[in-house]
Structure formats: structure tokens, C-alpha cells
Structure 1
Amino acid sequence: MALIQTSLIWVAYAIAIVLLLAIASVFVFIYQAPRDRAASVTIVSIFTTLALLATVLLLPVDVALVSSTSLSSQGRKKDWASPDRVNNILYTLKIVYYTLFSLDALLCLLVVPFTYFWYEEYDDDAAESGEQTVGQRFWGAFKYTIAFILFVVIIFLVGFFAPFAKQAKHDQQLDLDYFKRLLQENHGERALTFALGLLTTIGTLVYILYTGAGLALLPVSLIKSAPSISAPALAANTASQLEQNRERQRQLEGRNEGRDGGLDSRDRRELEALIREERTLIRRERLAAESSGEDRHFLVKAWIKIEAVFRPLKLLGGLLLMIVALLVFTSMLITAIDKAKNSICKSHCGYILGKINIFQPINWILVKSSKVFPIDYVIFLLLVLFFFSASIVGIATIGIRFLWITIFKIRKGHTSPQALLLATVLLNLIVLAINYSVAMVVAPQYATFGPQTFCDRPPRHAGEQPDCTKDGGAIKPCTELADNPVAKDVCTPSVISTFLNRVTINFPFFGVVLFWAQFAFLGVYIIVFLTTLFRTPKLDQEQVDRDLEEEEEEGLLASTGRRFGATWQDITGRSKKNNYGSTERNGERS
């Protein structure tokens, strides 16, 4: 029975990995520019996105596995859950976690930079003429990657030789066995702990800006933005107007034939205006073709069709996501206040919270749903994808910047390979921060012990387990502060909570920064949320380059009007014709 339950939990994780692969592929193919697509960039971006999402979504598996060893209804361990069996489960989880964390670090610090320089080193002319070989290109990319290799080596060396936190070691408040175990790790674990703590701290700074803004922008953008005219209708109207424009130009040019003085001033001004209008119509025609998915990858076309099908549900979906975002905001604020007020060691251990003292809605939902796996897994998956989507929206809105200077813009179908790789690195760092935020702030009790409970009465005889149904004791939820012998035997903390708490207790500086950064995140969210309530977000129009200004001019994606006819035409790919054979547009005939 135990083997079947464990196998089903890992099967659910495997199914989630397949789903994540599809999500990562759709994300990359939607945003990358078709004309600049490179196989190496595509593969690395998809694999990196898959690895980082797989790391976060291991948490419900972790909670389910450690919780499967106990009978929550009776507050005791199951008969098969011997200490050796429990240790084997924890050891397997630890191997998977350390593998994924190491993979994330290597992808972020080595593989993605190398791929970036590998793409930059390619020279079309030199490759065609045979002047550039694969070896030359490899060395050109590798020599720029050496700096990142040195950075990785320095990080792990510092973590390997870094001493334990002296304040934490001598803090009398940390005499409980749970906290003593956090201080017990070898040098290899300490090196990885330091490296991940550093990357998570850096990622949290990025997370504050992009995810904080995106969490507010995503629901509001769904509510306020929808095209007022379908892409096929726009393309048909534009083609008709372009034909009329060129016909009028031919008429004016025909008048000029045989004239010594050429066109008069009035006709010349009209011809110049027609030429300017022709340029605008050509740009509009190109934008309509891009928006309808012509000459694009089949995944992009499919995504455009899906967007059109679900467009009528945007308003409802936006309102629902806004409620979820406010619920997340409230839950995070409650936990942050609880930590600041009731943490047993404050800054000495990164504000570890011994137990939940204030009712917290998301934590309560996940703890209750975790009693029936995989309900909590589905909820957690949706929560992580919400944070991930918000991060993408934040990056697409703000762009990749250095201070106030925009380096790259992230746009659907227009993102260069260099920008896509940099966005992947940012998402990698952000997801590490999301991992900490969800586990330690959004749902701390769920991420640490799940639904595990213990009976506060000692067993009747030595070697037996307590049974509250017979002994008359009270069943209590497992917490870090539960230090009686029964709790030590029954309560098993998750591997991820142990790892993250180990980061903050051994390196308190990281814990302090990570904790107070949550308030900064909430501050960014509330500022952007209040701003977007009174100002329509223009996620696709904040452009400075020429191409995006043209897209904004046409307003194809910016209009706030809604038409079900436009939705149907986008789905079918056909524009509606009236009895005269001309295309209808906004109630008028062209």
C-alpha cells in the first residue's frame, strides 16, 4: 500500500513535468521572433524554463511524501513508517532537490551565458565562406564564459569554507531539536546552500520589480484590453483601402502625363498624402498578418486561435485573477506581520516562524486540501503558474533594463534570441525567489509539515505509538516549536522547508534580506494595482522603436471595445462580407 501511494505521487509529478514542458514550449515559441529563431537558443530556453518550474513543483510532492508517513486523523505514524523508511523517503527527495537546484544554478550561470555568446559569435558571411569553423565559434563563446565559470567557482568556495552563523549557534532560543538539525550539514551541503541563498537573494530583487508589477497588471490587463476588430477583418479592410489608395495614385499620375508643368499644387499635395497613407496601410497590413498568425509557427497560430476562443471569458477571468491576487497579497501580508511580531529569533535566523499565530487563508486552503492528494497539487500548480505568468507580464511590460535604460523589449513574436535568453535568466532567478516566497510566506505551514498532526499524550507503554482515540489526548498540528518526544517521532518536516530554513539560519543576512523584501514586493504590487485601476495598461504599446510605434498607431491590440463578431472571425480566420461584397468594419461599409 505504501509503495502504491508513493508511486502515485511520483506519477502525478511526472504528469506535471509533461504539462510544464508544453507550457515552456508555448512560452518560447510565442515570444521568439520567427525570422531570428535559433535551435540552440530555443532548446536551452525551453529546457531551462522546464527545470526551474519542475524545481518549484516538487514542493507538493515533498509535502505529500512526508505526510503519507503519518495518520493525521489519529496523530501518529503509520505502521509501515519506520525511521529507516522515512529516512529513505527524505534521502530520495534530497537527491532530487539537490540535482534540480544544481541544474538550475548551472543553467543560469553557465549554459545560458555560453548559448548567448555562441549565438553572438555566429557570422553568416564567414560561415558561408568557410572562414568560421565550429571550433572557432566554440572558443569565441567559451572565452567570454570563463568569467561566469570563475564566478561559480568563487561562490562555491566561499560557501564551502564559510563558518556557521555564530549568533545562531549560541542563541539559547534555538535549543530545540528542529533548529539544531538545521545547523548540522557538511561542507558540500553548505556550499550549495550558500550558492542557492545568494542566487535566491539576487532573484528576489528582480522578483520585487517584475513579479510585483505583473501580479497587479495581469488581471487588470485581461479586464481592460480586448481588440475591437478581428485580425481577418482588419486585413480585409486594409487590403481594400490600399487598393483604393493605389488606384487614386494612378489616376493622379495619369493626369501628369503630357503636362509640361506636371501636377498642380493641389494634386501634388493629395498625392503626397496618399503616399503617406499607403505606408501606413502597408504597416497595418503587416500587423494584421502577424496578429492572425500568417507565416508563423503552428504553435503561435494555435495560440492565437485559443486566445480568440477564450476572449469572451477575459473579463470573467480577469476578475477571478484579481480576487486571487488580492487573496495572495492578504496571505503574504498576514504571514509577514506574523513573522515580524512572533518569530522566536528575529534576524538571528532570518525570521523563522515557529507556528502560525494568525489565520492565513491560502495556507489553510492548501493544508486542508493536502489531506486528499492531488487536490493540493492542482491548486499549487495553478498558484505557481499564476506567479510565473505574472512574472512574464512584468518582464514584457517593463522590459530588460539597466537602471532607466531599456536594453531589450520582450514582445510576442518579436523577441530576439539574445533578449529571450536574458529573459530566461531573469525567470530563473525569479522562480528561485518564488520558491522561497511560496514556501516561507504564502503557505509556510503547508510547505513545512502539510496536514501532519501529533497526539499530545505520551503512549501507554514504551515502544508503542500514542493513540488519541484511546488515550483521550488532543490532536495538534505539527509545528517547529513542538518539541515533546511524541512530536519528534511523528512530525517530519519537508525537505524544502529544511533547506530554505537552513539558508536563513546559517546565513542570517540572506534571511533578513529575503524577509524584508516581501514587504517591498507587496508595496510594488499595491502601487501598480492602484495605478492600473485608473489607467489602462498598454502591455504591447510602450515602445520606443519604430516598429512598436506603428503597432500602437494602429491600435490593433490597445482598444478596449469588445465584439463577439471579432472573436468569431479570429477563430474562423474569415472576415464578414455584406450583400455588396465589401467588408463591414465597426458598423460601416468600406
Structure 2
Amino acid sequence: MALIQTSLIWVAYAVAVALLIVISAVFVFVYQAPRERAVSVTIVSIFTTSALLATVLLLPVDVALVSSTSISSQGRKKDWATPDHVDSIVYTLKIVYYFLYSLDALLCLLVVPFTYFWYEEYDEDAAEHGGQTFGARLWGAFKYTIAFILFVVIIFLVGFFVPYAKQARGDNDTKYLDYFKHLFAQNRGERALSFALGLLMLIGTVIYVLYTGAGLALLPVALVKSAPSVSAPTLAANTASQLEQNRERQRQLEGRNEGREDGLDSRDRRELEALVREERTLIRRERLAAESSGEDRHFLVKAWIKVEAFFRPLKLVGGFLLIILALFIFVSMLITGIDKAKNSICKAHCGYILGKINIFQPMNWVFVKSSKVFPIDYVLFLLLVLFLFCSSVVGIATIGIRFLWVTLFKIRKGHTSPQALLLSTVLMTLIVLAINYSVAMMIAPQYATYGPQTFCDRKPRHPDEQPNCSHHKSAIRPCSELSDQKWAKEVCTPSVASTFINRVTINFPFFGVVLFWAQFAFLGVYLVVFLTTLFRTPKLDQEQLDRDLEEEEEEGLLAATGRRFRAGWQDVTGHGAKNNYGSTETNGERS
């Protein structure tokens, strides 16, 4: 029975990984520029994105496996869950975690940079004339990657020799160290890995605060705004009318110029120049409406446009639901942050590790309750991770890849260069490490540490047997790191992921302090962007508008919702809206 349950959990993880590969491929192909695709860049980007998502999605598998060894309703271990069997499960999870964390670090620090320089070294003219050999290109990419190899070596050497913090060594004899002794690195190899992981997590958290904090507020708005307030037929008819009026006005101004030696006066000349610029915009908008309605396109493309328009109202509903989910996450993280700041047993000395939940936390409660029936919690966790991942993508696409105030690359659907795609992959790798900390330590700390595991808070009849709460349900307590009873430590098995993260924070408290307080910065960025976006849609520059052939709307998120639903229906039927005068109407204006 135990083997079957364990196998099913790993099968669910394998299915999730297969799904992640598909999601990663879609992400890469949607954003990369078709004309600049390179096989090496595409493969590395897809593989790296899949690996980093597989790392964070191992957490519910971790929780399910360690929780499968106990009977939560009775607060005791199952008969087959001997210490050796439990150690075997934990050891297997450790191997998988070490492999995935090492793979993520290798991809982020070595493989992706090498691929970047490999692409940069390609000389099309030299390759066509046989002037560039494979060896020359390989050496050109490798010599730039040497700097990253040295960086990796330095990280591990520092982690290998860096001394523990005074509190971590136990020099102050604090009582909390009695339980956390198992978190101290047992050898220098674990110490080096913990240091490298903590450093990458720290860098990732800075990026996470900026990009994911903004993207968490922008993603729901993006779904709502993706449903235009004007349907394609209405836009086409209205644009044609405006274009005709524009050209008629130009003819009138040009007619005034006939017979004049000095030409148009300055006022008419400025008006004519403005009309010419407006004409170009209207022509582009007319082409956009034609493309949106599927004119002169393949039957399948037209059918897809109709289907997309039919389901467009779901984007509106989904957008508002995601706003509620984002606020739910915000409240949960804020509650955990306050709980940690107030009730952490060792505060900054161990990175604000929280021994037990002291304040009711809604997101944590949902995951703990759902984890009693696998794979419900796995599905919920997958949706949560994908939401945070997509928020990060939206944040990167909105802000762009910057160095201080200088924009290096822009991330746009169908227009992202290979260099920008690789750099965004590195950013996503670092962000996912930060997401791993945020989910495990802030969003659902109890779930990520013990899941639904419980212990019986009653003394056993004999010292050699476990206590029995089958007839005393009120004596069943959730597992926590501060349980004093001897049998609680034997029944409660912490997840491997929480052990890794707590090991980083307790061995190197500086990382833990920065990671913890950065969560409040994340909440602050989210709140500012959300309140700004709620009432005012961020402006795009005019070049972006012309490139995407879209008209910016100066209105808040809560405006024009009804028109968006009507526009979706008009795109399905293929007819524009008519007012009482029989003309098309948009944005409250009659043409």
C-alpha cells in the first residue's frame, strides 16, 4: 500500500513536469521573434524554464510524501512508517532536490551565459563564405563564459570556508537551538551549497520584489484590458469614417493653398501636419481592425478569431477573480510577516524562523485542508505557482530588462530577440528561487513544513509506545517545530524543502533577515502598482502604440466593463453597434 501511494505521488509529479514542458514551450514560442529563432536558444530556454518550474513544484510532492507516513486523524505514524522507511523517503527527496537546485544553478550561471555568447559569436557573412569554423565559434563563446565559471568557483569557495554566525554556533546558549540543531550544516559541502543557494535566492528576491510585485497587480488588469471596449467591426467602421473626414479636411486645406504665393499660413500648416500624422495612425488602425476581424485570412484563422472573441468575456471574469486571488495572497503574506516579526523565537538570529502559526492565515489554511486529499493541494499549488510565474513574465514584459534606468531589452510577444529571451530566462530562474522561499515561508508556511501532519498531545500508557488519540480528538495538535513532547518529534517529519530553506537562514542569518524584510517591500510594490493601475491604466509610449497598432484608453480599470462584454458579442456576430441615428458608435462618440 505504501509503495502504491508513493508511486502515485511521483506519477502525478511526472504528469505535472510534462505539462510544464508544454507551458515552457508555449511561453518561449509566443515571446520569441520568429525571424530570429535559433535552435540552441529555443532549446536552452525551454529546458531551463521547465527545470526551474519543476523545482518549485516539487514542494507539494515533498509534503505529500512526508505526510503519507502519518495518520492525521489520529496523530500517529502509520504501522509501515518505520524510522528507516521515513529516512529512505527523505533521502530520495534530498537527492532530487540537490539535483534540481544544482541543475538550476548550472543552467543560470553557466549554460545560459554560454548560449548567449554562442549566439553572439555567430557571423552570418563569415559562415556563408566558410570563414567561421565551429571551433572558433566555440572558443569565442567559452572565453567569455570563463568569467562566470570563476564566479561559480568563488561562490562555492566562500561558502566552503565562511564561518558560521555566532548565534548559529550556539555561543549564546539560547534554548531555541536545541530543536534547530538538525538544521546546521553537517559538512562543508552542505555549507557551500547552502551559501550558494542563499546568495542566488537573495539576488532573485531583489528581482522578485520589482518584477513579480508589479506583475501581480498588472496581470489581472492585462486580462481585463485584453478585452477591448470596441469590437473589430465597430472599430473598422468608425476608423473608415474618421479617415474619410481627415482626408476631406486635408483637401480643404490644400484647396486654400491654390493661388497663394506664400502657401499656407503657419496655423493651417500645423493643422495639415497634424492631419497627416493622424492619417497614418488611422490607416494603421484600419489594418488592425481588418486583421482582428480575420479579413483575407485562412478559414481556420477566422474560426479561431471567432472562438477567441466568444470566450473573451471569460477573460474579464478571470481578471477579476485573479484580482481577488492576488489580494488573498497579499493578506496571507502580510499576516505571516506580522506573525514572524512578533512571534519568531529567535528573530534576526535565525532569519525570523517561525516555530508555529500564531495567527490564523487563510491561504495556509486552504492548503493544509486540501492536502488531506492528494492531489487537490497539488492542483491548487500548480495554479498558484503558474499565477506567480505569469505575473513575473508580465512584470518583465512591462518594465523590460534594465540596468538602473537604462532599458537594455524589451520583452514583447513575437518580438523578443534571442539575447533578451536568454536574459529573461536567467531572471525567471532567480525569481523562481525567490518564489520558492516566499511560498514556503510566507504564503503557506505550515503547509510547506508539515502539511496536514498532527501529533497526539497525551501521555502514552507505556514509555515505549506512541500515545493514542483515537478517542480523544481534542488532544490532536498540528505539528510544529516547538512541540516539546518526545513523541511529537518522532511523529512529525518536516519537508525537505523547508529544511533546506531554514538551513540557509539559520546558518547565514544575514540572508534570512534580508529575505524576510524583502517580503514587505514586495507587498509595498504590489500595493502601489495595484492602486495606481486600478484607477489609471499605465500609458505606453507612442512608438509602442504605433508598433502594436493600438489606441491607448485614458480610463480606469473599473470603467467601460459593459462595453467590453458588448464588444466581444459584436466580434462574434460580425456586426458593429448602432445608435439611434443609424451610425456606428464607440467610446460614447457618434460618427
TM-score, structure 1 length as denominator?
A: 0.86
The 3 A distance-change label for structure 1 pair 135 and 211 is same
1:83 aligns with 83
Kindly indicate whether the alpha-carbon contact (under 8 Å) linking 2:237 and 2:584 is maintained by their aligned counterparts in 1. Answer: no
What's the CA shift string for 1:185-240, capped at 9, x where partnerless?
22222211111110000010111111111112222343455313445775788799
What amino acid is the match of 2:228?
P
What's the CA shift string for 1:73-120, capped at 9, x where partnerless?
111000000111101110111111111111111111111111212222
Q: Summarize the alignment of residues 12-31 of structure 1 with structure 2, pairs less than 5 Å apart.
A: 12-31=12-31
Q: Summarize the alignment of residues 194-343 of structure 1 with structure 2, pairs less than 5 Å apart.
A: 194-223=195-224, 226-231=227-232, 279-284=280-285, 287=288, 308-343=309-344
Q: Summarize the alignment of residues 96-107 of structure 1 with structure 2, pairs less than 5 Å apart.
A: 96-107=96-107
**Offset of residue 284 of structure 1:** 3.3
What CA distance in whole angstroms lies between the structure 2 residues aligned with 1:15 and 1:284?
A: 43
What CA distance in whole angstroms lies between the structure 1 residues aligned with 2:456 and 2:25?
A: 47
1:411 aligns with 412
Q: CA RMSD in A?
A: 3.8
Kindly indicate whether the alpha-carbon contact (under 8 Å) linking 1:335 and 1:441 is maintained by their aligned counterparts in 2. Answer: yes
Q: Are 1:525 and 2:522 an aligned pair?
A: no
Kindly indicate whether the alpha-carbon contact (under 8 Å) linking 1:206 and 1:429 is maintained by their aligned counterparts in 2. Answer: yes
Kindly indicate whether the alpha-carbon contact (under 8 Å) linking 2:449 and 2:498 is maintained by their aligned counterparts in 1. Answer: yes
What's the CA shift string for 1:425-476, capped at 9, x where partnerless?
1111111101000100111111000111111223323443221125888111
What's the CA shift string for 1:348-374, capped at 9, x where partnerless?
100101111111111111111111111
**Offset of residue 46 of structure 1:** 1.5
Kindly indicate whether the alpha-carbon contact (under 8 Å) linking 1:221 and 1:536 is maintained by their aligned counterparts in 2. Answer: no
What CA distance in whole angstroms lies between the structure 2 residues aligned with 1:229 and 1:188?
A: 61
Structure 1 residues 519-528 or 444-453, which shifts more?
A: 519-528
What amino acid is the match of 2:281?
T
**Offset of residue 165 of structure 1:** 2.7
**Offset of residue 248 of structure 1:** 12
What CA distance in whole angstroms lies between the structure 1 residues aligned with 2:570 and 2:17?
A: 35
Kindly indicate whether the alpha-carbon contact (under 8 Å) linking 2:536 and 2:554 is maintained by their aligned counterparts in 1. Answer: no
TM-score, structure 2 length as denominator?
A: 0.86
Question: Gaps spanning 5+ residues in structure 2: where?
Answer: none
The 3 A distance-change label for structure 1 pair 239 and 530 is closer
What CA distance in whole angstroms lies between the structure 2 residues aligned with 1:248 and 1:518?
A: 57
Structure 1 residues 274-283 or 513-522, which shifts more?
A: 274-283
Q: Secondary structure at the match of 1:115?
A: helix
What amino acid is the match of 2:431?
I
Structure 1 residues 275-284 or 433-442, which shifts more?
A: 275-284
1:165 aligns with 165
2:449 aligns with 448
Kindly indicate whether the alpha-carbon contact (under 8 Å) linking 1:26 and 1:299 is maintained by their aligned counterparts in 2. Answer: no
Q: Secondary structure at the match of 1:451?
A: coil
What CA distance in whole angstroms lies between the structure 1 residues aligned with 2:109 and 2:295?
A: 37
1:53 aligns with 53
Structure 1 residues 284-293 or 150-159, which shifts more?
A: 284-293
What amino acid is the match of 1:340?
A
Structure 1 residues 481-490 or 28-37, which shifts more?
A: 28-37
1:395 aligns with 396
Kindly indicate whether the alpha-carbon contact (under 8 Å) linking 1:159 and 1:193 is maintained by their aligned counterparts in 2. Answer: yes
Structure 1 residues 416-425 or 346-355, which shifts more?
A: 416-425
What's the CA shift string for 1:549-573, capped at 9, x where partnerless?
454664499997535564357569x
**Offset of residue 306 of structure 1:** 6.7
What amino acid is the match of 2:397?
A
**Offset of residue 313 of structure 1:** 2.3
1:477 aligns with 478
What amino acid is the match of 1:348?
H
Kindly indicate whether the alpha-carbon contact (under 8 Å) linking 1:30 and 1:300 is maintained by their aligned counterparts in 2. Answer: no
Question: Gaps spanning 5+ residues in structure 1: where?
Answer: 254-258
What CA distance in whole angstroms lies between the structure 2 residues aligned with 1:179 and 1:296?
A: 65
**Offset of residue 378 of structure 1:** 1.3
What amino acid is the match of 2:347?
K
Structure 1 residues 220-229 or 9-18, which shifts more?
A: 220-229
1:375 aligns with 376
2:460 aligns with 459
What CA distance in whole angstroms lies between the structure 2 residues aligned with 1:301 and 1:190?
A: 58
**Offset of residue 290 of structure 1:** 6.9
What CA distance in whole angstroms lies between the structure 1 residues aligned with 2:148 and 2:240?
A: 51
What CA distance in whole angstroms lies between the structure 2 residues aligned with 1:398 and 1:388?
A: 15
Structure 1 residues 42-51 or 504-513, which shifts more?
A: 42-51
Kindly indicate whether the alpha-carbon contact (under 8 Å) linking 2:168 and 2:349 is maintained by their aligned counterparts in 1. Answer: yes
Identity of aligned residues (%): 77
Kindly indicate whether the alpha-carbon contact (under 8 Å) linking 2:570 and 2:577 is maintained by their aligned counterparts in 1. Answer: no
The 3 A distance-change label for structure 1 pair 286 and 146 is farther
Structure 1 residues 521-530 or 294-303, which shifts more?
A: 294-303
Kindly indicate whether the alpha-carbon contact (under 8 Å) linking 2:36 and 2:417 is maintained by their aligned counterparts in 1. Answer: yes
The 3 A distance-change label for structure 1 pair 554 and 363 is closer
The 3 A distance-change label for structure 1 pair 249 and 524 is closer
Kindly indicate whether the alpha-carbon contact (under 8 Å) linking 1:174 and 1:180 is maintained by their aligned counterparts in 2. Answer: no
The 3 A distance-change label for structure 1 pair 576 and 470 is closer
Q: May I ask how many residue pairs the two structures share in their alignment?
A: 577
**Offset of residue 159 of structure 1:** 1.3
1:256 aligns with none
What CA distance in whole angstroms lies between the structure 2 residues aligned with 1:69 and 1:240?
A: 71
2:5 aligns with 5
Structure 1 residues 314-323 or 491-500, which shifts more?
A: 314-323
What CA distance in whole angstroms lies between the structure 1 residues aligned with 2:430 and 2:303?
A: 30
2:74 aligns with 74
